[in-house]
Structure 1
Amino acid sequence: MASMLAGCTPWPEEFVDHYWASGHWRGTTLDNLLRGWSLQYGPRTALVHGETRLTYAALNRRVDRMAAGFRLRGLRSGQRVVVQLPNVPELVITVFALMRAGVVPVLCPVSYRGPELSHLVRVSQATGYVGPSTYRGFDHTAMAADVAAEGPFLRRVFPLEAPGSASPYGGFTTDTSGCHYFPLGSIDSPPEPALAQSAGQVAFFLVSGGDAGAPKLVPRTHNDYAYQARAAAELVSLTEDDVYLAALPAASNLAFGGPGIVGTLTFGGTVVLAEDPAPAACLPVVERERVTITSVPSDVARLWLDALPVVRADVSSLRLVQTGGAPVDRETAERMGPELGCRPQQVFDRAEGVLTLTRPADPDGTVFATQGRPLSPDDQIRVVDAAGEAVPDGEPGELLVRGPYTVRGYYRSPEDDARSFTADGYFRTGELARRTPDGDLVVTGPRP
């Protein structure tokens, strides 16, 4: 891990050796995995969004050409680019294309506005921004222009134009601050020879939403994220016959890799992208695309159940609904089987990497009332009191974790590291939890 991006905290060598020996880390970058998927699953459908359908082979070709286009527009290996897109195919294509070009994407929630974007650009020293020209009435390109004017980092903006739009940013332009604007659709060039890249390097940054402070950048490596997505997919027995509906924002950890988008693509399934998790938008998509797996916030799961008699969509294809965010209440969990035709899978996750899940074979009592067990056999869990001492099973305490897909620190944020990570590398989740006699975790809420 000596090659990890400066400003990141590496795993200690003894842990690195163990994760390699255990087969968790396999040394292949995510963009190279996509090359393999395109060869293995080429004609199968990889991405669906509305009427748009992309095969694995077409997805890989688009990524190849966009990666070359980014390099033609001046992006260089090791630079950072903020990607702020809704759940559209261009988000997946852009993130993989940037990784293939050696550039590190910063996955930014589409809800962020100027102050948050400015902070992410400053911390990451991002030289580029990819976002909608406008989205739901908000001018994202104008926001990026304001951040670029603050200087000195942001110098390339790639707006995604809405079909049929007449944006002032269409075509190549340069503003008074020296920032260049290239429509994302123009980022297309004949593929170049592949770059030699290390899977121990940072693949992309997620944004931590664990508290009300300034957003923090979470560096996820190719090794750790490929393992997380693969292990989560294996846990739910995901196959090429599965159809995953990304109803949560794709920039979130659960939707991107728990198993999410990356896990589904790993096993040749189909990813359906939804921009709105509301039942009126999603339930007809479940019927049309025969969705088998999805992830929704716990409160949205209840909305889906309440809306079923009105929407009248056939959701019989569903076999698993993951519920994330706040723990799902027992009444909602108990309704899901009879009304959706499948059991829930409760999940607790953080951008930093911790992922606990109930198992498909768990008894109802576990599925309805706990957030399950850690994903990896090498996840190390502690539940501690205010003094950092372990508490007995059944007693509440703060949940601490370290493991092969949980980071050891934020990017360029030593003050936050001191608060959020112990000296021996455990991530302080900030959540109170208790452990049941069977080893499952019940997450009860934020630490006071």
Structure 2
Amino acid sequence: MSTRTPLSIEGVVPWPDEVAEQYRKAGYWQGTSIGSRIAGQVERRPDDEALVDGSTRLTYRQLWDKSASCAQYLLDLSIAPGDRIVLQLPNSWEFVALTLACFRTGIVPVMALPAHRRHELTHLASLSEATAIVVADTDRDTDLRRIAQQVAAEVPSIRTVLVHGELSNDATPHAPERALAAGMDTPGRFTDAEYEPTGADVACLLLSGGTTGLPKLIVRTHDDYVYNVLRCNDVTEFDSDTVYLGTLPSSHNFPLACPGILGALFAGGRTVMLPSPAPERALRTIDAEGVTVATVVPAVAQTWIEHQREHHTMTGTTLRVLQVGGSRMPDELAARVEPVLGARLQQVFGMAEGLINMTRLDDDPEVITNTQGRPVSEADEIAVVDEIGEPVPDGTPGALLTRGPYTPRGYFRAPEHNAKAFTPDGWYASGDIVVRRADGNLVVAGRDKDMINRGGEKISAEEVENFAYQIDGVEMAAAVAMPDPRLGEKLCLYLSLTEGHDVTLDDVVAIMNEAGVARFKLPERLVIVDQMPTTKVGKIDKKAMREDIRQRLAREDTAS
């Protein structure tokens, strides 16, 4: 446990002193760093495999030594504790080693996404005042080194560009390029004792996942992130026999710490890295590596289920748990997981801003299929409120508010947004509409901007989408509001279909009428698309759909 004074970073919103002391006394915060948690496993099992990336297999000691080498490399480049570096790397052992190097030195990684380009990276570097940016050399047909130099030209604080792969031939770079590989195998000079962060130090800056505007930065400290991982480990039952498959971008909170890569390392398990969740390779890898837990979003779960049904690629029985999160999983799809993949479904509903809800592995099938779980910590506070902030009864949709020992009190350098998103007494307004059942489990009804207000009647997009998924041939469904001069909004349903199928609006209305659904919830327009638009974090982009239907209506008005 470090005894030095926590680093002060301007723009971080701290927990109130009395609240922080309460969390320490309760044992939620133990004053330990992320690195120290992993160091214990290095001592206990130095020769056990920690990480697999293609043909590269690293033991705990080898991974620890590479991260120490990388830590010293960063320090030698004059990147100091408390400095921020924008980290954009594919799923790889280098991502893990570099992230651990940051956690061990107090250097703060800003977790950019692989899909980000100049616009987003410039925003993140500028907002965080990053001193370095770390990129792969290329991503398909895109030269990321060139983009990094463009960012460096626009953000004066960037002094170094670290490249995973081949350096460019740029004769006049705005910031010197350094090979990340050069820092992975140098003789060890780094000592944790000199740099180990305190529990109160900032561990990393995660990205908000909203679809409006550029991402905000979420401050996670060692205290709160360690607690986050430990509680998720307990609920997901990670231990030294866990083999975790990471296919989602590792910079996301979900595959990084819920419990994810860090959870496996904390528990002494093994992580297998893949660059994408493409079903054929992922399912073969599950068999080859004896994977016990995998993390996916609903769209990926659907592709795995369909591929397994058709090809029976996965022949083994090691997969114990499939965690699904990132967006609400349709009930119909949830029911297919265990029969087809042989794994217990664990629904995960949470946010990089803190609160994580999970179904438990021993929950009744009805709970696992039809809810998104309950908080992982007894210290998580939840309120479900109406439009004026008053609590609503269980069983009634309302806006989710939360606070607790791993839900920060504000975004980084965002005072105006913090005034809207956080109450004076620390409640975070997540923007989610949920129903809390009598058993404490939550059912996600959508986002606050995902509720269609049809002449004062509120329609949950998720509810309509679940009916659409019951129709044969529906691949993806998204219900959105379309403008109406009389009612304000009506409901438009977007569908993508599997090849060879045809679905009409009458088909959707018929299945909803058969279930006795109130008529005001029936979709009044159907749009069939080849592929759903998605945001940069891989979620269905309903903002784009709302704009699309607005333009369609405008063109029809003009034509008439």
- 1:121 — aligned with what? 125
Q: 1:10 aligns with which of 4, 7, 14?
A: 14
Change (3 A) 1:240 1:156: same
Question: Which amino acid is the alignment partner of residue 436 of structure 1?
Answer: R
In the alignment, which of 137, 155, 160 is matched to residue 164 of structure 2? 160
CA distance in 2 between counterparts of 1:176 and 1:10 reads 38
Structure 2 residue aligned with 1:108:
112
Q: Does 1:387 align with 2:388?
A: yes
Contact 1:280 1:311 in 2 (8 A): no
User: Is the Cα–Cα contact under 8 Å of residues 69 and 189 in structure 2 kept in the other structure?
Assistant: yes
Partner SS for 2:336: helix
Q: How far does the alpha carbon of each residue in 1:29-76 deviate from its partner, in whole angstroms, 9 at most, with x for none? A: 112222222111211111111111111000110011111111111111
**Structure 1 residue runs without a partner (length 5+):** none
Q: CA deviation at 1:361?
A: 1.2
Please give the alpha-carbon distance, in whole angstroms, between the structure 2 residues aligned to 1:440 and 1:383.
12
Shift of 1:2: 7.2
Alpha-carbon offset, residue 237 of structure 1? 1.6
- CA offset at residue 329 of structure 1? 1.4
Give how far 1:4 is off: 5.0
Q: Matched residue of 1:331: which SS?
A: helix
Q: 1:176 to 1:327 in 2, by over 3 A?
A: closer
The 8 Å contact of residues 283 and 315 in structure 1, kept in 2 or not, is answered as no
1:180 partner letter:
P
In the TM superposition, what whole-angstrom CA distance separates every residue of 1:273-298 from its partner, at most 9, and x where no partner exists?
Answer: 11111211211110100100011001
Helix, strand or coil at the partner of 2:40: helix
Greater alpha carbon shift after TM alignment, 225-234 vs 190-199 = 190-199
What is the DSSP-based 3-state SS (H/G/I as helix, E as strand, rest coil) of the residue aligned with 2:335? helix
Residues 189-244 of structure 1 show CA distances to partners (whole Å, capped at 9, x for unaligned) of 53233314211110011111123211111010011111111111111221111100
- Offset from partner CA, 1:150-196 (integer Å, 9 cap, x none): 131111000000xxx5x425xxx88353x111110112453233314
Closer, same or farther: CA 373–96 of 1 in aligned 2, 3 Å: same
Q: Is the 8 A contact 1:174 1:180 kept in 2?
A: no
| Pairing 1:276-291 to 2, within 5 Å after superposition | 276-291=276-291
1:398 equivalent in structure 2: 399
8 Å Cα contact 1:432/1:447 also seen in 2: yes
Q: Return the offset for 1:271.
A: 0.5
C-alpha contact (below 8 Å) 1:70/1:101 kept by paired residues: no
Provide the aligned length of Structure 1 versus Structure 2: 440
The counterpart of 2:180, out of the listed 181, 184, 187, is 184
Q: CA 1:136 to 1:2, structure 2 compared with 1: closer, same or farther past 3 Å?
A: same
Structure 1: which amino acid aligns with 2:423? Answer: T
CA distance in 2: counterparts of 1:174 and 1:21, whole angstroms: 56
Instruction: Decide which of 62, 76, 88 is 1:72's aligned counterpart.
Output: 76
Separation of aligned partners in 1, 2:223 and 2:242: 24
- Residue aligning to 2:246: 246
Partners of 2:440 and 2:32 in 1: how far apart? 33
| d(CA) in 1 for partners of 2:130, 2:25 | 35
Which whole-Å CA distance do the structure 2 matches of 1:350 and 1:281 have between them?
Answer: 28
Deviation larger for 186-195 or 72-81: 186-195
Q: Deviations over 1:348-378 (max 9, x none)?
A: 1111111001011111111101111011100
Q: Which letter does structure 1 place at the counterpart of 2:299?
A: D
Mind listing any 5+ residue stretches in structure 2 that lack a counterpart? 450-560
In structure 2, the partner of 1:151 is: 155
Partner of 2:145: 141
Cα distance, 1:5 vs structure 2: 2.6
1:175 equivalent among 158, 172, 189: 172
Letter aligned with residue 155 of structure 2: G
Distance (Å, rounded) in 2 between the aligned partners of 1:39 and 1:131: 32
Give the whole-Å Cα distance in 2 for the aligned partners of 1:2 and 1:389.
Answer: 38
Distance in 2, Cα, partners of 1:425 & 1:3: 23
Name the amino acid aligned to 1:87.
N
Distance (Å, rounded) in 2 between the aligned partners of 1:66 and 1:417:
35
Cα pair 1:253 1:349 within 8 Å, conserved: no
Aligned to 2:434: 433
Q: Is the 8 A contact 1:67 1:191 kept in 2?
A: no
The structure whose Rg is larger is 2
CA distance in 2: counterparts of 1:329 and 1:196, whole angstroms: 44
> Hey, what's the Cα distance between the residues in 2 that align with 1:97 and 1:393?
45
Whole-angstrom CA distance in 1 between matches of 2:383 and 2:320: 32
Cα 1:2–1:269, aligned 2, differ >3 Å: closer, same or farther? closer
Aligned to 2:469: none
Give distance in 2, aligned partners of 1:14 and 1:364.
41
Q: How far apart are residue 416 of structure 1 and its match? A: 1.4
1:197 aligns with 2:197: yes
Q: Report matched runs for 1:362-373 at 5 Å.
A: 362-373=363-374
Structure 1 distance, partners of 2:188, 2:239, is 33
Assess if the C-alpha contact under 8 Å between 2:33 and 2:196 holds in 1.
no
Distance 1:344 1:42, change over 3 A: same
Instruction: Determine helix, strand or coil for the equivalent of 1:182.
Output: strand
Letter in 2 for 1:376: S
In the TM superposition, residue 311 of structure 1 has moved relative to its aligned partner by 5.0
2:377 aligns with 376
* CA distance in structure 1 between the aligned counterparts of 2:60 and 2:333, rounded to whole angstroms: 36
After TM superposition, the structure 1 stretch with the greater mean CA deviation from structure 2, 122-131 or 145-154, is: 145-154
After TM superposition, the structure 1 stretch with the greater mean CA deviation from structure 2, 22-31 or 398-407, is: 22-31
Match for 1:437: what amino acid?
A: A
Shift of 1:3: 5.0
- TM-score, with length taken from structure 1: 0.95
- DSSP-derived class of the 2:424 partner: coil
Single out whichever of 146-155 and 258-267 deviates more from structure 2: 146-155
- Spell out the pairing of 1:289-368 with structure 2 (5 A cutoff): 289-308=289-308, 309-368=310-369
Q: Is the 8 A contact 2:6 2:197 kept in 1?
A: no
Quick one: distance in 2 between partners of 1:399 and 1:142? 42
Q: SS of 1:118's equivalent? A: helix
Q: Would you say the 8 A contact 1:4–1:10 is kept in 2?
A: no
Q: Distance in 1 between matches of 2:119 and 2:439?
A: 45
Structure of greater relative contact order (alpha carbons < 8 Å, 6+ residues apart): 1
Match of 1:30 among 29, 34, 40: 34
Cα distance in structure 2, aligned partners of 1:296 and 1:314: 19
Partner secondary structure for residue 237 of structure 2: coil
